[in-house]
Amino acid sequence: MRPVAPCPERRFVLLSHPVMARRLPAPSEGPTGSAAPAARASWIESITQAPPRAGCAASPFLLGVLEGEGIGPEVVRASLRVLSALESVTHRTFDLRFGGPIGITAERCCGAPLSADVISFCREVFSQGGAVLAGPGGGRFVYDLRREFDLFCKLSPLKVSETLATSARVKPEYVRGVDIVLVRENVAGVYQGRWSENLVPGEGRSAEHSFHYSERQVRRILEVAARIATSRRGALTVVIKDGGIPTISKLWRGCGEETAAKHGVRLSFLNIDHAAYCLIQHAQDLDVVVAPNLFGDILADLGSVLLGSRGLSFSGNFSSDGAAVYQTNHGSAYSLVGENEANPMGQFFSLAMLLRESFGLEHEAAVIEGAVEQVLNAGWRTADLMAEGCRLASTLEATDLVVEAVLRRG
């Protein structure tokens, strides 16, 4: 790997009607009440129907890097320091390749938030079996990237650390044990629609936006969510909005019922407004939640409240042939640039997810996750997580602590 310089600085079946709820089996029960599997199945296997690449010490793993904008370079470089430490203790080798600017920065210098050069860069990484670690990018970058490579599935894990349960913004009794996989459809719906602006005589400016979902698009994301649910607690929640978008909701309902029956998972529907409420009030009762593009975006951000901060949120974006881009769910946070206050841990978790899902490196991913947990257990907190009795760590200090923990754990 190229040398990386230190960074410069109660259980319910939740139905679509808001007052209807009944008790679910305990989370440890599968679709038929049997014990849940001890080891988590690969999520990317649920998408591609092929196992992830098996770890091989003799061959370097190709990792494309897009540093992004705002705090992106800070947290991405922090992650690469963690990767370098991991490499030294596990004897894995990584071939790092760096792409150009993205987002608003790219729009200013290249004319588009996703430039032709970055498209070529990603295509080359994917064609050689690699994966991309990306920092935040603004404008239409993420939407254009997902459409370009048909990254139709976004997975956002929402698993609450026991260490942070008492410092979360939600009462501890509502977040302990929360373990949700949010599955978001990524290439259709509102964000991938058509829009225009016009001047209407007597009314002024008029903005129009149209979007759609095809049955194929709905079925393939539901298939992924159902397959993941079968490997977990066997419960699938589909997010819709019956009255607001009736035809699209009807399509999701029909496909959801058929897909759940095919895979033998318990099925419930939630309208988006009620889903937002349940994500905070009854998060412990949710297992796998699948949602259209806009709804999934809202729920992922809201779900970061359960984690304690957006700085801990992370995700992977996947195509059916295994192309994948991993990044945090937070934005560029320009107000924090150069302040040495950004939380790099979400980017660390993105890196761990990349190693596990795209490269099959379960041990290495667990080392990173365990190192972060060890630092949190020792009472260290970045500014966004600071709580009484804890010690404040800057971006650099948090990175140093995690690097040290990786070197001890590897």
DSSP per-residue codes, 224-268: HHHHHHHTTTSEEEEEE-TTTSHHHHHHHHHHHHHHHHHHT-EEE
33 band by pLDDT with thresholds 50, 70 and 90: very low
Say if strands 266-271 and 314-318 run parallel, antiparallel, or are unpaired. unpaired
Q: Which residue has the higher pLDDT, 36 or 249?
A: 249
C-alpha separations of 61 from 67, 281, 326, 402 in Å: 18, 42, 15, 22
Q: Tell me whether residue 155 is exposed, middle or buried, using C-beta atoms within 10 angstroms of its C-beta: 0 to 12, 13 to 18, 19 or more.
A: buried
Q: Tell me whether residue 174 is exposed, middle or buried, using C-beta atoms within 10 angstroms of its C-beta: 0 to 12, 13 to 18, 19 or more.
A: middle
In this prediction, residue 166 carries a pLDDT of 76
The crossing angle, in degrees rounded to 10, of helices 362-377 and 72-90 is 120
Residue 242 and residue 304: Cα distance in Å, rounded?
Answer: 26
Q: Which pLDDT tens digit goes with each residue over 63-83? A: 999 999 999 999 999 999 999
What share of the chain has pLDDT > 90, as a percent?
A: 83
* DSSP letter for each residue of 263-309: HT-EEEEEEHHHHHHHHHHSGGG--EEEE-HHHHHHHHHHHHHHHT-
Query: Mean of the pLDDT values across residues 317-339?
Result: 96
Q: Which two tokens stand for residue 28?
A: 């440890």
In this prediction, residue 165 carries a pLDDT of 82
In this prediction, residue 170 carries a pLDDT of 87
In this prediction, residue 347 carries a pLDDT of 98
Query: Mean of the pLDDT values across residues 152-176?
Result: 90
Which sign, positive or negative, has the C-alpha torsion 397, 399, 400, 406?
Answer: positive
Q: Which two tokens stand for residue 40?
A: 């988590």
| Residue in the block written with tokens 């759609």 | 212
C-alpha separations of 34 from 37, 119, 169, 260, 402 in Å: 9, 46, 34, 18, 38
In this prediction, residue 51 carries a pLDDT of 72
Residue 247 and residue 253: Cα distance in Å, rounded?
Answer: 10
Cα 266 to chain centroid distance, Å, stands at: 24
187 band by pLDDT with thresholds 50, 70 and 90: very high
Helix/strand number for the chain, H first, E second = 13, 16
Instruction: Flag whether pLDDT at 32 surpasses 60.
Output: no
Query: Mean of the pLDDT values across residues 168-183?
Result: 91
Instruction: Flag whether pLDDT at 25 surpasses 80.
Output: no
**What is the CATH code of the structural domain delimited by 14-409?**
3.40.718.10
In this prediction, residue 53 carries a pLDDT of 63
Residues 6 or more apart whose Cβ sits within 8 Å of residue 193:
209, 210, 211, 212
Residue 150 DSSP code = T
Query: Mean of the pLDDT values across residues 382-404?
Result: 96
In this prediction, residue 52 carries a pLDDT of 66
| Residue in the block written with tokens 């991938």 | 192
Residues 6 or more apart whose Cβ sits within 8 Å of residue 227:
46, 263
HSE, CB side, 13 Å, CA atoms: give it for residue 58.
Answer: 0
The verdict on pTM exceeding 0.85 is yes
